[in-house]
Structure 1
Amino acid sequence: MEDQINSFDFDYVRLEDDVRKLANDYLSEITAENIKMFSEGIKIVGETTLENYYLSIDKHYSEGIFKIRDEKVLSEFIDFATGYRFSMKSWARENEIKLKKIEVPNTERPKNLTYNKQRPAIILGVGTLAAVGVYIFSNIWIALLTELLVLGTTSKIIKKEKKLNYEFELKKYEIQIETEKEELINGLIEDIKEWLRKAETNSNELLKKFKV
């Protein structure tokens, strides 16, 4: 039966495509609302990928030719309170991909703008912008989405003002935004894959418990 356990795979190609599509749909323009929609989409993609995985396993062993023949084991496997599907849902809840609120200062043009040599200056000002970031294993993507929000808002101010040399200044922000977007997308894909691998380990342990 071990070969059958290993035959269940996540569709990582589709996962990557879905994450990149979300980025294309919502991060072409960096706004608080777009970041919120992107983060919510990431959560749905990860959780749907996992749900499709464990439901296919559940169906494999509870229906059709591979249905568990031992009635006692089958009853334990499909039990609504302790069975395989229930246990996988519990794991997903306990290891949830979380959404966390982002609050950053709103932006305004300071009188004297100076640049950090490594990245464009971030313009901070009055008020706050609220968005939602995605948390998988750490706050790293919250931090990066926060920075993207500030960079995106600042670039809008530069476009609006159109002061001397604004095109050169704007280009710096655009380059930084694209660099950080790519880091975000690749990092999220890898973290979701790692999250799914942990779920797979839990699934395999459960299947061993049910001796299938």
Structure 2
Amino acid sequence: MTTPLIDKAYLKTQVQEKAKLLLSEISDENLKYFTEEIKKLAEGILETYVFDIYDTCTTGAFAIKDDDVLQSFSDFNSGYQAQMLKWISDNALKVEHIEINLPKPPAETAPKTTNPLYSLGIGTVIATGLFIFTNAWVALAAEVLTIAIAYRQYTKNVTIQKHYALEKERYAHELKIKKDQLIQGLTLDLEKWLDRGKAESDRVIAFLGL
């Protein structure tokens, strides 16, 4: 049986749209919501693919004609849909949280030296990221949130912006780079996850005799 491709172009477009909507300003809540949304997006795409394959093979003009094969394919406990939903559950995308230290706010006086990035202060905040194959995107999400908070500290009033113009620009540049890396990296790994799901779908279909 020749199976259709998964629409990864739709995934990419939707991730970009959600990033544009939710990550135009980075906060712990926006990052959490974005992570939850792209998890639901990718899992929903694969689940819809599975349901479409099942419907095609069990109803309509392309339904399986052999009664024994149809029974095996549609079995509630061991059929195609049951096996695929189990695969999705066993290989679920995981929303993970990590506690990070808040960046140290700048003094409202001209600095004697350039401060390093990520100088830490008192207090913590929770960063949320998506665990796909590794925790790389969880760690990068935490870094993005740290930079975003630091950047806002350097833009909170005119005095600070005047004294720390270079630092402000440095944080803005770093934030753009890291945010782009996060969005692009998540998209690529979600595409790979969908590819693995399709490969499992093809394996199950072949195993069931189609």
Q: Could you say whether these structures have the same fold, taking a TM-score greater than 0.5 normalized by the shorter chain as the test?
A: yes
TM (norm. structure 2) is 0.92
Q: Report SS of the residue matched to 2:150.
A: helix
For the residues of structure 1 that align with 2:165 and 2:50, how far apart are their CA atoms?
A: 51
Deviation at 1:108, TM superposition (A): 2.7
| 2:70 is aligned with 1:68 | no
Q: Secondary structure at the match of 2:118?
A: coil
Q: Which amino acid aligns with 2:73?
A: F
In structure 1, the partner of 2:188 is 190
Please state if 1:210 is matched with 2:197.
no
Shift of residue 65, structure 1, vs aligned partner: 1.1
Residue 168 of structure 1 is aligned with which of 166, 169, 178? 166
Matched, 1:100 2:96: yes
**Corresponding residue for 1:149?**
145
How many residues align? The count is 204
Q: Contact (CA 8 Å) 1:110, 1:123: kept in 2 or not?
A: no
What is the TM-score with the length of structure 1 in the denominator? 0.91
Aligned residue for 2:156, secondary structure, equals helix
Aligned to 2:48: 52
Matches within 5 A, 1:6-17: 8-17=4-13
| Alpha-carbon displacement from aligned partner over 1:122-169 (angstroms, at most 9, x marks no partner) | 131112101321110111101110001100111111111432333332
Contact 1:32/1:131 (<8 A) preserved: yes
Partners of 1:127 and 1:144 lie apart in 2 by 20
Aligned to 2:19: 23
- Cα deviations by residue, 1:91-111 (Å, 9 ceiling, x for unpaired): 001111100012111233266
User: Which 5+ residue runs of structure 1 have no aligned equivalent?
Assistant: none
How many Å separate the matches in 1 of 2:76 and 2:204?
A: 15
What secondary structure is seen at the aligned counterpart in 2 of 1:127?
strand
CA distance in 1, matches of 2:41, 2:119: 33
Residues in 1 aligned to 2:114 and 2:95: alpha-carbon distance in whole angstroms? 34
Identity of aligned residues (%): 33
Moved over 3 A (4+): 110-116
Alignment check: 8 A CA contact 2:148 2:175 kept: yes
Contact 1:32 1:149 in 2 (8 A): yes
Within 2, Cα distance between the matches of 1:9 and 1:37? 28
Cα offsets for 1:68-117 (capped at 9, x unmatched): 1111211111111111011111000111110001211123326676445x
One-letter amino acid matched to 2:150: T
